[in-house]
Amino acid sequence: MTSLAIFDFDGTLFDTHESIEQSIKLTFEALLPAHVPPQSKIHALIAKGAGLSDTFRTLHPSIEAYTAAADGWTAKYREVYATHGQLLIKAFPGAKEILEDLKTCGIPIAIVSNKGVAAVKTALERNGMGGYIPEDLIIGDSTPGAQRKPEPTNFTDILIPTLKNQYVVADIDASKVLVIGDTVADIQFARNIGGRACWCRYGFGDQDACKKLDPELIVDSLCEVAAHIRSSV
């Protein structure tokens, strides 16, 4: 039985590949127009689920120059993403339905993403899913104390205390936690918290690398995830 469902965002609930790629390119056009990042490198970083800092540090021609202006790069990307990238986002089929199913079953839902919370919240609201996941159960790189996946801190130090204190949820058996995501970072996150990994093969992750980690569940759609959860209730 699933006692808690933790979703990734990019490549799991929402198809954000184009929005991320275009927002990265527009950020470079604004801040370093003489440098055009190779598309292959952008795609590889998206497949890894890399955070903003790692993304720009890898793509920037000078690590020292980027480090000195890192906050400005993050701010510009988020500005571009909010005004341009959000328009390119679309929910994967079955995204709203699975959140409805989980809510009906009384299973708590959280999102743990390497994305900023504001971007996740905006996308949910724009696509009619704003009421399914409380904001304090959306963990992103702008959440105080959050660590990038696959670090377990977001589960042990943020999600669990919040569920206990704010939602009076009893002790959660980690073995009954289902982590739903599309990259190696998501599968490793599930391992690190002692939970079960559901790999969304339709997403952005490196296929060979994800298969090698032998996730407990492999799906080709969110409808398959919903069917699995319903069968275990």
Which pLDDT value is given to residue 162? 93
Which pLDDT value is given to residue 172? 85
Do 215 and 126 share a structural domain? Answer: yes
Do 202 and 95 share a structural domain? Answer: yes
Do 10 and 120 share a structural domain? Answer: yes
Question: What CATH number is given to the structural domain containing 147?
Answer: 3.40.50.1000
User: How many whole angstroms separate alpha carbon 19 and alpha carbon 115?
Assistant: 12
Do 155 and 218 share a structural domain? Answer: yes
Q: pTM to 2 decimals?
A: 0.92
Do 183 and 164 share a structural domain? Answer: yes
Do 139 and 151 share a structural domain? Answer: yes
Q: Which of 88, 121, 138 is the last residue of a domain?
A: 88
Which pLDDT value is given to residue 233? 65
Question: What CATH number is given to the structural domain containing 26?
Answer: 1.10.150
- 113 and 139 Cβ atoms separated by less than 8 Å: yes
Q: Which of 88, 103, 123 is the last residue of a domain?
A: 88
Do 189 and 110 share a structural domain? Answer: yes
Query: What DSSP letter does each residue of 149-178 carry, written as one string?
Result: TT-THIIIIIIHHHHHHHS------GGGEE
Structure tokens of 28?
A: 């470079």
Do 97 and 84 share a structural domain? Answer: no
Length of the chain in residues, anyone? 233
User: How many whole angstroms separate alpha carbon 19 and alpha carbon 113?
Assistant: 16
Number of H-type helices and E-type strands within the chain: 12, 8
Q: Which of 71, 88, 105 is the last residue of a domain?
A: 88
Which pLDDT value is given to residue 32? 97
Do 173 and 100 share a structural domain? Answer: yes
pLDDT by residue, tens only, the chain of 233 residues: 889 999 999 999 999 999 999 999 999 999 999 998 999 999 999 998 888 999 999 999 999 999 999 999 999 999 999 999 999 999 999 999 999 999 988 899 999 998 989 999 999 999 999 989 999 999 998 899 999 999 999 999 999 999 988 887 777 899 999 999 999 999 999 999 999 999 999 999 999 999 999 999 999 999 999 998 888 76
Question: Which residues constitute the domain of residue 164?
Answer: 4-15+90-232
Show Cβ contacts of residue 89 under 8 Å, excluding neighbours closer than 6 positions. Answer: 14, 15, 16, 19, 123, 126, 127
User: How many whole angstroms separate alpha carbon 16 and alpha carbon 68?
Assistant: 28
DSSP code at position 5: E
Do 33 and 133 share a structural domain? Answer: no
Do 223 and 173 share a structural domain? Answer: yes
Do 224 and 120 share a structural domain? Answer: yes
How many folded domains does the chain comprise?
Answer: 2
